[in-house]
Amino acid sequence: MSHFHYQDGVLHVEALPLTQLAEQFGTPLYVYSKAALLANFDAYAQPCAGRDALVCYAMKANSNLAILDLLARRGAGFDIVSGGELQRVLAAGGDPGKVIFSGVGKTEAEMEQALLAGILCFNVESIPELHRLNGVAARLGKRAPVSLRVNPNVDAKTHPYIATGLKANKFGVAFDDALATYRTAARLSHLDVVGIDCHIGSQLLDDAPLLEALDKLIELIDTLDAEGIHLHHLDIGGGIGIQYGEAGEADPVPVADYVQRLYARIDAWRAARHQGKPIKLIFEPGRSIVGNTGVLLMKVEFLKPGSEKNFCIVDAAMNDMKRPTLYQAWMEIKPVVPRAGVATVYDVVGPVCESGDWLARERALALDQGDLLAMMTAGAYGMTMASNYNTRTRAAEVLVDGDQAHLIRRRETVAELIALESRLP
């Protein structure tokens, strides 16, 4: 995380010390680096320069309007999974013509909303969804652009909760059923079959499974072409994973190398088939764009020694960052102002009334009450998965641009949490 660094004994984000941000905005606090965000997006966009390609940011990773706005200005499209996310894209000034709508359970209202907005494509995941979308488009007098999310049964070798490309997963159309499903889509009068989509899972550090999935998609595209179903884009799904700082963790494949290998296979395939026009390539990276742009800043409330474990109790909790307790995810914890002296091994835990409320286990830290800690690589699946459990207000969010800090989401109040509720008469 080069945009997060120690300077004069204090952890900084770009040119600002985190101590200053904690004093100004309080804790828990999400802090993001603008420079890191744009550099991560450019890692995908720049190797595609001069080609027919679109990088659609998977906004479920982090959907703050300021982040969407910055990416939209950079030329990003967006991968959405709900009507609410579409509204966020529009509110942030994003182009609906660069929006891909994914997800297994789109409602009629969401389909209508997306058709009226003029999105680029629906990633359809079942035959019933095809028929529903065709009916909504007919009622509106429109034609819906569709691609099928094909499940290639490729093992991403990642956490089972974020693996999405196997037969046992709820996502997509099984590869063996894809041809028949495309035939059905092609017969429906208010659908335009324009592409193919595949997303086999998240947090892949090796691109071999992605390239294996690409080979299966190419095979299917050729079969469809022979039947007169001509596709205009190939959506390869999510991006390369990121490092969370765990000892022995493998290095992710550089994004530029991955993109180069994708295009090498696609170019060889198109040349072998004497196809003059290259197929449009769409990416849906999320975590690799925002993950290492952010930290979760927290304060040590108490240090509680024990006979079997020592606990560092902080003011952040599982409602602020769910990944450790949900996925047993390892996330690096750094002191904002490192102390000299002998470190003690702590479990870093929050105040939520659950034994599962932990942020890190068995970390050697030299600490005192009142110290600040930073959970690194917290930009993805942090705030978007946050909750108000125990009537805890969600953290504020700050985006740093050089030596300027911008509050991009203020901290909630308890009054706001209960405003939608009513007592009985």
- As annotated, the active-site residues are 353
Contacts of 262 by beta carbon, 8 Å cutoff, 6+ apart? 210, 211, 214, 236, 281
Token pair for 360 = 């890190």
CB 27 within 8 A of CB 18: no
**Whole-angstrom distance, CA of residue 72 vs CA of residue 94:** 5
Give the rounded distance of the alpha carbon of 311 from its chain centre.
Answer: 31
Kindly tell me the burial class for residue 287, based on how many C-beta atoms sit within 10 Å of its own C-beta (0-12, 13-18, 19 or more): buried
Helix, coil or strand: residue 58:
strand
**Whole-angstrom distance, CA of residue 236 vs CA of residue 215:** 11
**Whole-angstrom distance, CA of residue 156 vs CA of residue 279:** 25
CB 78 within 8 A of CB 57: yes
Partners of 399 in beta bridges: 32, 406
